[in-house]
């Protein structure tokens, strides 16, 4: 079963995304800080991480680095409230698989997630 980790410093946003993904039968774990996200990433080993870039303390970029270091196969979708090309490019260079600007549509998130799930399945030989 595909597992998502949703990380955002806005609890309301996290709750909504979790509800949306759970309705589509995905397993979801959530975190509202970078530190908590790293802890869950190690523990839960998610396939896809939906990660807010700008967070207090450990930022989304810090989390991305750690996640890609510890679980290179994990796909990361970055979320941000700022359309910043430099940050976007940096995230992509660090191994992010996609990038969504807030407020984003759930269908966008779903499309991107499905594409990544297909990749994961092909890698693992699952049809």
Partner 1 sequence: MPDFILNQYFIALLTTGIINAGLGIFLILKGFNKRLNQLLALYSLSLCIWSIFEAFGITRYNESLALVLWRINHTGVIFIPIFLTHFVFLLLDIKGKRAKLIPISYVIGCILLVLDATPLLILEVVPKFSFRYFINPGHLYYVFFWSWIAWAIYGNFELFKEYFRSSGYRRNQMKYFCWPLLFSYLGGVPNFFPTFNIEIPVLMPYGTYAIPVYAIFATYAIIRYKLISINIVITRAAIFIMVYLIVLGIPFGLAGWFRPWLMGVFGQNWFWIPMLSLLGLATLGPFVFIFLQKKAEGEILKDQRHNHTILMAAAQSLTLVREFHKLLNLLVRILTKTLGIKYATVYLCNREKNQYVFCVTRGGEQNHMALNSGNSLIKYLQGTRKPLVYEEVKREYDDRKDIFTKEIRDAMNKIPADLLVPTFVADELIGFLALGNKRSGEVYTTEDLDVLSNLANQSALAIENAQFLKEREEMQGKLREAETLTTIRDLLGSFNHELYNLLTPISGTLQGINMGLYEEKPERLKSDVEKSITTTFFIKTYLGWVREYVESGDKVAAYQLSELINRGIAYSSDKFEKQNISKRVSVNPKIFVVGYECLPLLFKHLIIHSIYGYGMESGGTIDISARILEDRSTVEIIQTDTGDDLTKYIKEGSTMGGKKFAEKGKLGGTSYFIAQAVVSKHKGSFEVETTGGKGTKFRIRLPLDFNRPAA
| Residue of 114, 53, 108 lying closest to 85 (CA atoms) | 53
DSSP states along 56-80: SSS-HHHHHHHHHHH-TT-EEEEEE
Q: What is the DSSP letter of 25?
A: T
Burial of residue 34 (CB within 10 Å: 0-12, 13-18, 19+) is buried
Residue 81 touches partner 1, criterion: CB under 8 A = yes
82 binds partner 1 (CB under 8 A): yes
Any contact of residue 106 with partner 1 (CB under 8 A)? yes
Residue from 3, 68, 104, 117 touching partner 1 (CB under 8 A): that is 104
Which among 48-56, 67-75, 88-96, 116-124 is the span making contact with partner 1, rule CB under 8 A? 48-56
Nearer to partner 1, 66 or 95 (CB): 66
Per CB under 8 A, residues contacting partner 1 are 9-13, 16-17, 19-20, 23, 31-33, 36, 54-57, 80-82, 101-106
């Amino acid at each position: 079963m595909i597992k998502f980790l949703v990380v955002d410093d806005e609890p309301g946003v996290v709750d909504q995304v979790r509800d949306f993904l759970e309705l589509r039968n995905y397993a979801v774990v959530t975190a509202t800080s970078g530190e908590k996200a790293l802890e869950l990433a190690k523990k839960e080993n998610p396939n896809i991480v939906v990660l807010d870039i700008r967070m207090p303390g450990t930022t989304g970029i810090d989390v991305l680095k750690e996640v890609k270091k510890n679980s290179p196969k994990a796909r990361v979708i970055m979320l941000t409230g700022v359309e910043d090309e430099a940050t976007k490019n940096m995230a992509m260079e660090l191994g992010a698989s996609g990038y969504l600007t807030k407020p984003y549509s759930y269908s966008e998130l779903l499309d991107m997630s499905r594409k990544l799930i297909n990749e994961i399945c092909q890698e693992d030989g699952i049809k």
